[in-house]
Amino acid sequence: MKKIFGKQVAIALVLIVVVGGAFSLGYYTGEKKHPAIESVSGLSNKEVGEPNGTDFSLFWQAWNTLNEKYAGSTTPPSAQERVWGAIEGLAGAYGDPYTTFFPPQESKNFQEAVAGNFDGVGMEVGIQGGVLVVISPLKNTPASRAGVEAGDQILKIDKTDAATLSVDKAVNLIRGKKGTTVVLTLGRKGIKAPFVVSIVRDTIDIPTVDTEFRKKDGVFVLRLYSFSALSPGLFRDGLRQFAESGSDKLVIDLRNNPGGYLEAAVDMASWFLPVGKVVVTEDFGKAQDPQVYRSKGYNVFSDNLKLVILLNAGSASASEILAGALHDQGKATLVGEKSFGKGSVQELVDLPGKTSLKVTIARWLTPNGTSISGNGITPDVVVEMNADDVKAGKDTQLEKAAAVLLNKK
């Protein structure tokens, strides 16, 4: 059973996939509390699993009023669609952008995205400060080629105002068949007026790792783009290349890496930490005792290793866990910009009728007890990339990371 951090377009979260979860719709409908319930037709199990002490008479009164009086321009939803809408509202009442109900098609889309191959534009989105934003565009995807940047605010998706959309509803609108076009209205820091980007959807394959040995200064750069099921093996191969290079100066570039599997983050941290060292703690609050994830103890590098991790606003969840672990354990210096702050854990529960419910159940803490959720991780050395540097192809953050490794200011 894998816990997953937000990766591709459809994922801004950590998942525990629970197969066959049972759920029965149940509302209190006793005759004394709501005698008009007989007018609700087409539903079954209306009283199964009802919570004690909860009066659902207002709900059924609203249901019946809409059922009897609605005469708007849109076609009334079916009884089943109204039930789904009610559950969506229930999940939304918690005020958590990652707690969401998925009707059948949305549930199917979400689980396809978890599998790692889907049609879309290739970016992850999330909520920050109550606003829908781009966590990161993935490398070599339609979104990155169209110029979308981490931190861009999504104001409209085609003609739909994004202000009230949940993450998952936004994702469902952005995704679509290969070859079709989605038009995004974006806002960006430093640009006064909103601007429009048209993106042609394509099949998205999640990139993973590439490496570079800089002969000019002996710095080895390992760029990690996701924490997929394949990432640990590819990361190990990258570390082997680093060892063979003869360098003792390593940069792990986690910029615009929106996350992936928890197991991948723990495995990667284990190459640098002795066995038993804390990588991350899963804090369930009062619900249960915390779960501590520890290093497997590969620990193949000597104390002479010089390590810098690069972060930016597109570094989220698993990226933040790896960076937080190696930083708090004294193994790495962090350079770049404050990370996104996606530090909550979701459980995906399969429900009847091919629906599902994604629920936030915990939050992640670094080894020093710092909560990632909402806070992000602030680097030891803050370096912001400006638009002029990007246009000129100048990577000031990487150059600063190299300078740190070379003990230069």
Alpha helix stretches (DSSP H) within 310-376: 318-328
Element (H, E) at 269: helix 262-269
Length of the chain measured in residues: 409
Question: Going along 263-388, which residue ranges are E strands?
Answer: 278-283, 291-294, 306-311, 333-336, 344-351, 355-365, 381-382
| Structure-block tokens of residue 95 | 């005020």
Nearest C-alpha neighbor of 401 from the set 325, 332, 353: 332
Choose the catalytic residue: 152, 267, 328, 350. Answer: 328
d(CA 234, CA 227): 10
Q: Is position 317 annotated as part of the catalytic site?
A: yes
Q: How many CB atoms lie within 10 A of CB 230?
A: 16
Choose the catalytic residue: 342, 373, 395, 400. Answer: 342
Q: Is position 328 annotated as part of the catalytic site?
A: yes
Judge whether 227 and 254 are in contact, CB under 8 Å.
no
Q: How far is CA 318 from CA 44, 66, 135, 397, in A?
A: 42, 45, 13, 21
Choose the catalytic residue: 231, 317, 319, 356. Answer: 317
Judge whether 316 and 8 are in contact, CB under 8 Å.
no
Phi-psi region of 285 (alpha: psi -120 to 50; beta: other; left: phi over 0): left
Q: Is position 210 annotated as part of the catalytic site?
A: no
Q: How many CB atoms lie within 10 A of CB 90?
A: 12
Helix (H/G/I), strand (E/B), else coil: 397 = helix
- Catalytic positions, written as ranges: 317, 328, 342
